Amino acid sequence: MAEAYNIIIGTSHAEPMLRNNVDEWSEDTYGHFNYKTNKDNVYKYWEDRVKEAKDINAIYTIGMRGVHDSGMEGVKSNDEAVALLDGIIKDQRDMLKKHINPDVTQVPQAFTVYKEVLDLYKAGLKVSDDITLVWTDDNYGYIRALSNADEQKRSGGSGVYYHASYWGRPHDYLWLSTTNPYLIHEEMMKAYNLNNRKIWIINVGDIKPAEYNTQLFLDMAYDASKFQNPEYIATHQQEFYSEIFGSELGNSISKIREDYFQLAFERKPEFMGWSQTEPTTPIANTAYNTLANGDEIQKRIDAYDAIEKQVEVIETQLSGNLKSAFTQLVGYPVKASSHMNKKFLFRDKAMIYAKQGRKSASNYAKLSHQAYNEIEALTKKYNMLSNKKWEGMMDMKPRKLPVYDDPEIILSKTNTKEAIGISVEDTLTTSEGALQIPTFYVNDIKSYFIDIYLKHTDHGSWSFNDFPKWVKLSKTSGNLNVSNIDEERVFISIDWNAWKKAGEPTSKTFKIETNSEEKNIQINISKSYNSIPETSFIEKNGMAVVYANHFSKKNDIDTLKWKEIRGFGHSKSVMQSNLLKVSPILNQENAPFLEYEMYTETISETANLTLVAIPTHPLTTDSELRIAVQWNNEPIQSINFKTEGRSNTWKQNVLSNKALKQIQVPIKSTGKQKLRIYMVDPGVLLDYFVLDTRNQTQIPYKLMPETRLNSLK
């Protein structure tokens, strides 16, 4: 059948010589899969298959690992493993000479540099020049290494084995296909342009959820020239969905899918339980903060609500013959991902609000369980599509991991006796006991929220009093009722024209009154940036956020250039250090650099600067992933984003798609500060930077908007 369809047969990185070890190796029959102690049986097992396969078009996997995608049995050190593998590869090639072609260099062979095999290769394992080196990603879409200048000269060339789905630590992602197309593009085109293009293999796991990413991967392999510009990804998505659903709907669908992939890049739905596997750990609260930064939880819920509604609109416009395809390609993944997020985000709200004593906490717990029920219903519908054509194809609980369960929600009660509670965004309390709104900056259009909610009563009223005309409130009074509205969110901002007419006060306190009490609300206005250029980056409330593509100066040297990759990253536009020169730039002070300017109002000897990069790996086995950082005129510091093996840092990096490095920088005077990033190693992808003058060790999990001075003008 393979011959009839001109299909080339191969086996995975863990299964040499066209053998499927998991199904074909029987320990009861053959003994241990151990070449040291059971060489004759292992050799015959391989040779029998080579004899059977002598007339087919095949690529032979060379080398040896364990039966179940594990390390090689019977070796206790890398040196011992290298010595044994040298003999194994010689025996395998002699087998191919005997049964396939006396000129073994004409037999297609692949050696996959995967997991521990990469360490053996680094330790000195020799692989014949005609064997194709197949490099691998780290199971989460980031290629661990590619061919260096010498390896690129190999007659067998090199290629890539890439995952669009994965079973294993730190967590599976087997359910929905959410690997960002821009990540696939960046990594595979990097491989292509560095001449790793002999063999490309994509591991898609279950094919049904991964139709688009599979097509993208194959189309890049078929004609890479189209994909040299990353902006072609958007065009490719439009063409894919337009071919199926027509151009008008195709454009709308591709935008939905772009948002779907971007939300999952921030955190895959399978990772929303903040749990891990191998070993499996219980679910935990997410890292999203519902009480700060504009309510990170609500922002994410709103983003999913938006694409869900767009899906529902399109569903009403589809002809009958397209409804099933739309559910499979768009409807199910979008809605299921949305409800998976809501399951955990509403759980977080319920537990956090319960600690505040909010009656509404129980409502959020119900919404969490409702989201689980929605996933069940969606999955049942999927498996009923087209007269049950796909029955059993979609499983909402791959491997039955804790993240897929209906979560347990325990609501702890507070001992407060307040009837009505008041919570201010980023709540601070002044020495006089007033609730303090985060500082406003002159002419900035920012708003903040105040939550008012029932605690130990079933109804009540509230109102703001004595507030000046220049304070804008989305609502000034209201009534709460447990059977109707048990909480309200009020947004507060500044009318800057009215503020100027009032004499430009820098502080004001007013009241919020409820049935049982009153509290003071304090507003502060900062004039720190009155004379700086509009749209400058500034420190706001102890934090400055700048995206890497918004540099004030870019200094390239000849062919060494910082390249912008639009559409990719948390900021959707990252800066890549040059790929053309695979060796490091040793003289940092004369290297290409990016320069950034920001203005601060705080003096601090120990401000924290966090640099966020995409968690790629060094380009080759013998390179690093460094940049050099200079703050103002301080000494240059070297930073390396390289991770080791399956370290905890690597695990957190791939779960969040972020590599974070933090250094302390002194702010000796207010006003303009300068950050300079020098190029050192190739392949670094800078995403954004966060300056924190509050000495907090962690930056917000969710990407913050840039802290520009957003003038009304």
CATH number of the domain enclosing 89: 3.20.20.520
Structure tokens at 445: 């259009």
Question: 471, 470, 472, 473: which is closest to 462 by C-alpha?
Answer: 473
Is there a contact between 644 and 122 (Cβ–Cβ < 8 Å)?
Answer: no
Any domain includes 223: no
Do 646 and 570 belong together in one domain? Answer: yes
Question: How much is the pLDDT for 428?
Answer: 65
pLDDT tens figures, 171-184: 999 999 999 999 99
Neighbours of 212 (CB within 10 A): 21
Shared-domain flag, residues 458 and 373: no
Let me know if residue 668 belongs to a domain.
yes
pLDDT band for position 430 (cuts 50, 70, 90): low
Q: Which residue's structure tokens are 């300079």?
A: 676
Residues 472 and 513 in one domain: yes
164 and 64: one domain?
yes
List the CATH number of the domain containing 425.
2.60.40.10
Dist. CA 19–CA 52, nearest whole Å: 11
Residue 505 lies inside a defined structural domain of this protein: yes
pLDDT value for 502? 97
Q: What is the pLDDT of residues 402-416, one digit of tens each?
A: 999 999 999 987 777
How far is residue 74's CA from residue 53's CA, in Å, rounded to a whole number?
29
Examine the pLDDT at 713 and tell me if it is beyond 50. Answer: no
| Among candidate residues 177, 205, 233, the one where a domain is terminated | 205
Separation of alpha carbons 119 and 645, rounded Å: 9
* Residues 350/368, Cβ–Cβ less than 8 Å: yes
587 burial type by CB count under 10 A (0-12 exposed, 13-18 middle, 19+ buried)? exposed
Asked if 348 and 409 touch (Cβ cutoff 8 Å), the reply is no
Average pLDDT of 198-202?
A: 95
Domain holding 625: CATH number? 2.60.120.1620
pLDDT digits (tens, 9 = 90+) for 588-599: 767 899 999 999
- pLDDT of residue 702 exceeding 80: yes
For residue 118, the model assigns a pLDDT of 84
350 with 365: CB under 8 angstroms?
yes
pLDDT at 496 over 70: yes
In a domain, 211, yes or no: no
Determine the straight-line distance between the first and last CA of the chain, rounded to whole angstroms: 69
Cα–Cα distances in angstroms (integers) from residue 44 to residues 17, 109, 230, 478, in the given order = 11, 19, 49, 82
How many domains, the chain? Answer: 4
Mind listing the pLDDT tens digit for each residue in 326-360?
Answer: 999 999 999 999 999 999 999 999 999 999 999 99
Domain that residue 274 falls in: 253-404
Q: What share of the chain in percent tops pLDDT 90?
A: 86
Q: Are residues 115 and 200 in the same domain?
A: yes
Domain containing 352 — which CATH number? Answer: 1.20.58.2150
pLDDT digits (tens, 9 = 90+) for 235-270: 999 999 999 999 999 999 999 999 999 999 999 999
Residues 551 and 506 in one domain: no
What pLDDT does residue 581 have?
A: 65
> What's the mean pLDDT when you consider all of the chain?
94
pLDDT of residue 712: 46
| Same domain, residue pair 466 and 604 | no
499 and 588 in a single domain? The answer is no
Residue 698 domain flag: no
User: Do residues 571 and 671 share a domain?
Assistant: yes
The 10s digit of each residue's pLDDT in 110-139 is 999 887 888 888 888 999 999 999 999 999
Instruction: Judge whether 409 lies within some domain.
Output: no
Region 412-426 average pLDDT? 87
| Cα–Cα dist 138/126, whole Å | 22
Alpha-carbon distance of 401 to 268, in angstroms, equals 15
Longest dimension (CA), the chain: 95
Confidence band, pLDDT 50/70/90 cuts, at residue 582? low
Domain boundary residue among 205, 223, 245? 205
- 179 assigned to some structural domain: yes
Residue 684 CB neighbour total at 10 angstroms: 28
Cβ neighbors of 116 (< 8 A, separation 6 or more) are 65, 71
Whether cis (ω within 30° of 0) applies to the bond prior to 170 is yes
Together in a domain, 182 and 68: yes
Domain-located, residue 180:
yes
Task: Judge if pTM exceeds 0.75.
Answer: yes
Q: Which of 284-293, 500-509, 588-597 has the lowest mean pLDDT?
A: 588-597
pLDDT tens for 41-72 read 999 999 999 999 988 899 999 999 998 878 89
- Judge if 644 and 519 occupy the same domain: no
Asked whether residue 371 falls in the same domain as residue 454, the answer is no
Distance CA 661, CA 613 (A): 8
